[in-house]
Structure 1
Amino acid sequence: MTDARQVWALGDFPRIARETISGTGDLLVAECGVQAGQRVLDVAAGSGNVALPAARAGARVIASDITPELLAAGRADAEAEGLRLHWVEADAQALPFDDDAFDVVLSSFGAMFAPDHVRTAGELTRVCRPGGTIGMVNWTPQGWAGRFFATVSAFAAPPPPGAQPPVLWGDEAHVRGLFGARVSTLRAEPRTLAIEHFEAPIDLVTYYRANFGPVIATYAALGDDPERVAALDAALLDFATQTNLDPDGARWELEFLLVVAQAAPSA
């Protein structure tokens, strides 16, 4: 079975992040009020969609991710900009940092993919100081991304026992239940971003098939079954066509949940 490190190393996720979700990093940094000198952790950072904007704001940033190839890409981008931050290989479910180590803990479409939601929420709050800020952007179950993952997962191997669907992190009630009394306040707001740099739905399908690790891994697992490969091709094209909002071109709106919480004060 291909593990998460291998899956996210497939294709070119840094390109996808740069071309589709880059604005959410700046949004999260602004909504969480990241300031110069603060200790900031980006969990499941990928290639630094949040870590780089936080570093530009002058924060002292650590970017952690389970996939070293993504960290290497982020490190190269940071060096090209002259930004100084640390890159640490780490699992969001078992972060190698002390309790209360950070003023702000962030995650942009990252920690949501860790299979154990309870453990992940516990780690996000554990490493955040009392009164500090926890900020996330997560895909919603009912939005474009939730439907996209449902389309792909219908052709994928079953998830490991006990793994929860990532898009549950985009459900406000689920997130409130995960954090519970470990946060004193929690604000959750649905937002959208647009994808509009393709000419037609087939271009979007081709793009994700070539660059997005979970899609690449699903196709690879179907490699000896041409009928299933053709069925996945058709399902993705049907999905892209049905969700296209521009009948004369190509435009999609992706819904996500912005979450900003304050860690509860110490007892």
Structure 2
Amino acid sequence: MVDIESRVISSKEAVKEIWSMGDYRNRGQFFPPVSARLTELVGLQANELVLDVACGYGNTSITARFKGAKVTGMDITPKLLALAKEEEKTAYIDGIDWREGDAENLPFEDETFDVVLSTFGHIFAPNQELAGKEIVRVLKKGGRLGITSWPPELAVGKLSEVVSKYNPFASSEAFSPYNWGVTDKVKRLLPGIREIYFERDTIKIPVLSPNHYWQDTITKSGFMIKVMTELKKQNNENKIRSFRDDYTKVLKRYILHNELRLGYLITIARR
């Protein structure tokens, strides 16, 4: 038991480290339409109590606040919460309750919120079953849930398969964030939900070439920075070149008219 607990703690500390690296304001600049679509589909109303789980730099929390909701934005990474507060000021709004917290142990009473949201955040909780139970637990009876995730068969999932081939760090299929992108698995991860609806949409990112996106990713994504740093320590230029070639080869399949198409899954549910 101690060994299991130490591995879980270690993985959470690793998550904090990774999300403290990189430039997530830059990486997230194409995500606001996702937040808008999610709040629209969940039917968000003014004055509703909203929890944004793993809120990151605050794009969905701020979107919900603009709609008049009473919003709590929670994330495990202090650096991202600090960035979220800056984004709130830039948006000329206030009133969002920013909290540091763990998706696997939400610091709220049962049935607290009218709406629970998460845009590609909850998917990184190591214990997915526990995170799913917690999300449902804090939702009021009749409350709505809106989350987004990456299907394994689309662009982000396929790029992740390439990264896994070269990733020098141990990983577990059981903790794969792409489990949240498979509808049958999502249903199992959300016990107590009585209505559930799925929809797909696409993020379109302007790119000049596959290599431009590769360079942007390895310098601004915390996880890719960590992977590349470790690979460079191995002093194996052939492996890094092969990694880049495999990554950009997959990218080419999803680029059309200088736009990278990142398909994602939207889950809307009612407790």
Q: Is the 8 A contact 1:141 1:171 kept in 2?
A: yes
Match of 2:47 in 1: 37
Match of 1:253 in 2: 261
Q: Is the 8 A contact 1:14 1:70 kept in 2?
A: no
Structure 1 residue ranges, 4+ long, deviating more than 4 angstroms after superposition: none
Structure 1 position 204 matched with structure 2 position 216: no
What amino acid sits opposite 2:72 in the alignment? I
Q: Is the 8 A contact 1:14 1:46 kept in 2?
A: no
Q: Is the 8 A contact 2:204 2:259 kept in 1?
A: yes
Match of 1:188 in 2: 198
Measured in 1, the distance between the counterparts of 2:63 and 2:254 equals: 31
Measured in 2, the distance between the counterparts of 1:204 and 1:184 equals: 41
TM-score by length of 1: 0.91
- Pick from 100, 123, 127 the counterpart of residue 134 of structure 2: 123
Match of 1:154 in 2: 165
Match of 2:75 in 1: 65
Match of 2:19 in 1: 8
What secondary structure sits across from 1:223 in the alignment? helix
Match of 1:226 in 2: 235
Deviations 1:157-188 (A, max 9, x none): 1226x7421011011111111114x0110001
Q: Is the 8 A contact 2:254 2:262 kept in 1?
A: no
Within 5 A, what are the aligned runs for 1:72-221?
72-83=82-93, 84-156=95-167, 157-159=169-171, 163-180=174-191, 182-196=192-206, 198-221=207-230
How many residues of Structure 1 are paired with residues of Structure 2 in the alignment?
256
Deviations 1:49-94 (A, max 9, x none): 2101000011110101111111111101102223220111111111
Measured in 2, the distance between the counterparts of 1:192 and 1:81 equals: 25
What amino acid sits opposite 2:155 in the alignment? W
Deviation at residue 235 of structure 1 after TM alignment: 2.2
Q: Is the 8 A contact 2:205 2:259 kept in 1?
A: yes
| Identity value in percent | 29
Unaligned runs of 5+ in 2: 1-9
Q: Is the 8 A contact 1:139 1:257 kept in 2?
A: yes
Measured in 1, the distance between the counterparts of 2:230 and 2:75 equals: 25
- Pick from 27, 31, 34 the counterpart of residue 37 of structure 2: 27
Q: Is the 8 A contact 1:64 1:88 kept in 2?
A: yes
What secondary structure sits across from 2:242 in the alignment? helix
Give the CA RMSD over aligned residues.
1.5
Unaligned runs of 5+ in 1: none
